[in-house]
Amino acid sequence: MKIDVRLPIEKYAAELPGAISVFEALGLDYACAGYRSLEDAAYAEGITPDTVVTALRKLKTVASAESWNDRSLAELTRHLSEQHHRFVREELARIAIGLADVCSAPDGVPSYFIPLRAAFTRLSAIVLPHLHLEEDEAFRVIEALEQAWQANDPHALPATPLEAALLRLAEEHGAIAGELRTIRELRLRLSDSDSLSPRCSALLDDLATLEAHLHEYIFLENAILFPRAAALAEQGAAV
């Protein structure tokens, strides 16, 4: 793929296999601000666009990469629920226990772990009800909407409005991304310490993995699921 730094960063996240791992490693926001150009996303993090382009060009070429844009919305909602949501719930619980243990250690708490735990607690308070809202409301409406169009039956279109729910979820994505950025900054400061125990280092690795999962899940919704669902809903409203 020819890389044009003027194109939206989400285009490469969606179409170039391995690009997400590059963006994650460089700290580029492809999830909530995926509409920005690759160039602007790089400059926002103090990185030159050439650095990003060089990293992307090192990725192996995949002849026939499948895009989520080519699959049904129901497949995507199932993937989000069964893969990302399940993983996120399990990791939030496990990391919370680990942070509680570290922060209550009798030999003292490493610097930045208290604010790190506070940011993680705020993140959990947003994410957990957010996942429930998606599964119990938004995903069900999106799946019903797609089924009605596949059956060519406008009368089967769900009566529940979708636009307000998608807007609320997108706003919550912004709040989640903000807490993730705080956690990332604290995590990187702690990672520079030579006195971290293996237990603390493992916790930081777990936080990095959780961060990557949340970014990818937000990207799949903001850049693919929500726009496609909103387009279907708009067509239904015009019937």
CB 187 within 8 A of CB 117: no
Q: What pLDDT, on a 0 to 100 scale, did the predictor assign at position 239?
A: 44
pLDDT at residue 123 is higher than 90? yes
| Residue 76 structure tokens | 């995507």
Mean pLDDT of the chain: 90
User: Among 110-119, 121-130, 154-163, 188-197, which stretch is predicted with the lowest mean pLDDT?
Assistant: 154-163
Q: What pLDDT, on a 0 to 100 scale, did the predictor assign at position 197?
A: 85
Q: Give the model confidence (pLDDT) of 3-29 as tens digits.
A: 999 999 999 999 898 999 999 999 999
Q: What is the mean pLDDT of residues 127-142?
A: 94
| pTM confidence score | 0.89
The string of DSSP codes covering 144-213 is: HHHHHHHTT-GGGS-SS--HHHHHHHHHHHHHHHHHHHHHHHHHHHHHT-S---HHHHHHHHHHHHHHHH
Q: Write 78-87 long-range contacts (CB < 8 A, 24+).
A: 79/220, 80/134, 80/139, 80/217, 80/220, 80/221, 80/225, 81/134, 81/135, 81/139, 84/213, 84/216, 84/217, 84/220, 85/131, 85/134, 85/135, 85/217, 87/213
Q: Give the model confidence (pLDDT) of 30-84 as tens digits.
A: 999 999 999 999 999 999 999 999 999 999 765 555 678 889 999 999 999 999 9
